[in-house]
Amino acid sequence: MARKKLIAANWKMYKNPTQTEEFFRAFLPLVFEHNRDEIVVCPPYVDLQAALESAKGSQIAVGAQDVYWKDEGAFTGEISSAMLVAVACTHVIVGHSERRQYFGETDDTVNLKLKSALEHGLTPIVCVGEVLEEREAGLTEDVLRRQCLRAFNALSAKKAAKLVIAYEPVWAIGTGKTATPQMASDVHQLIRGEAAKAFGEEFAAQLRILYGGSVKPENASALMSEEEIDGALVGGASLDAKSFAAIVKY
């Protein structure tokens, strides 16, 4: 069975609820009845409600950008998977490189967050990717193997069924530099191989691996036409309704 592509918007720390409503008013008519791909918008937490209400009745799903692994407790500032499910979020980004870089995210916390998201029935989009120094030192494969291995720790194929991976070379995020479709494809194959080792061939064949890092309307078709690329995680170019719609309709 062919893998349905997933096009996800990662708004990062942009937009308030009013701007979220404005986005959806412009975006929904542009992607009316577009069902070829799965579409998800991940706004900041305070915009989730506005996004969910705006998206109601459409095919657009709403996700969060991070999650904490405990269901509730004295964890000031955190939001749990149970809470995301309670407001009808369906997706969550886990382990984004900005979380790893600025907020102390580690391979182990990624694993805990991933397990929590899966247990609550969310679709987790787990981000992996090498930084420039790692690529230049020839460490890309090692880094990705380690990130996958640790993220998948103590999970079964059955539990991980909804897993989505996003390969985001850190040097390509917000820089205007994109991995070539071939470069991305090569890494996607490596990730699929790690998934096969952890969860079996059948699981790996169904696993969706997105590409992220300066995806724009101009490069979306070339990336999406690669057999190995099952969608995109889009930052900057997802903030504008027209540009995100153009990517969705690559």
Residue 223, interface with ligand PGA (CB under 6 A)? no
Q: Closer to ligand PGA at the Cβ: 29 or 174? A: 174
Q: Is 168 a catalytic residue?
A: yes
CB of 110 to ligand PGA, least distance (A): 15
Residue 165, interface with ligand PGA (CB under 6 A)? no
**Residue in 40, 79, 234, 245 binding ligand PGA, rule: CB under 6 A:** 234
CB 228 within 8 A of CB 184: yes
Residue 7, interface with ligand PGA (CB under 6 A)? no
Stretch of 67-75, 112-120, 194-202, 230-238 contacting ligand PGA, by CB under 6 A: 230-238
Burial grade of 35 (CB within 10 A; 0-12, 13-18, 19 or more): exposed
CB of 200 to ligand PGA, least distance (A): 28
Q: Is 34 a catalytic residue?
A: no
Stretch of 15-23, 132-140, 179-187, 234-242 contacting ligand PGA, by CB under 6 A: 234-242
**Residue in 121, 174, 193, 200 binding ligand PGA, rule: CB under 6 A:** 174
Encode burial over 131-150: b for 16+ CB neighbours within 10 A, e otherwise. beebbeeeebeebbbebbeb
CB of 55 to ligand PGA, least distance (A): 20
- Scanning residues 178 to 217, which ones bind ligand PGA (CB under 6 A)? 212-215
**Residue in 38, 47, 105, 168 binding ligand PGA, rule: CB under 6 A:** 168
Residue 43, interface with ligand PGA (CB under 6 A)? no
Residue 162 CB partners (closer than 8 Å, separation 6+):
118, 121, 122, 123, 124
Burial grade of 206 (CB within 10 A; 0-12, 13-18, 19 or more): middle
Closest of 36, 45, 43, 7 to residue 22, by C-alpha:
43
Burial grade of 93 (CB within 10 A; 0-12, 13-18, 19 or more): buried
Residue 86 CB-half CA count within 13 A: 7
Residue 105, interface with ligand PGA (CB under 6 A)? no
What does the block give as tokens for 147?
């990130």
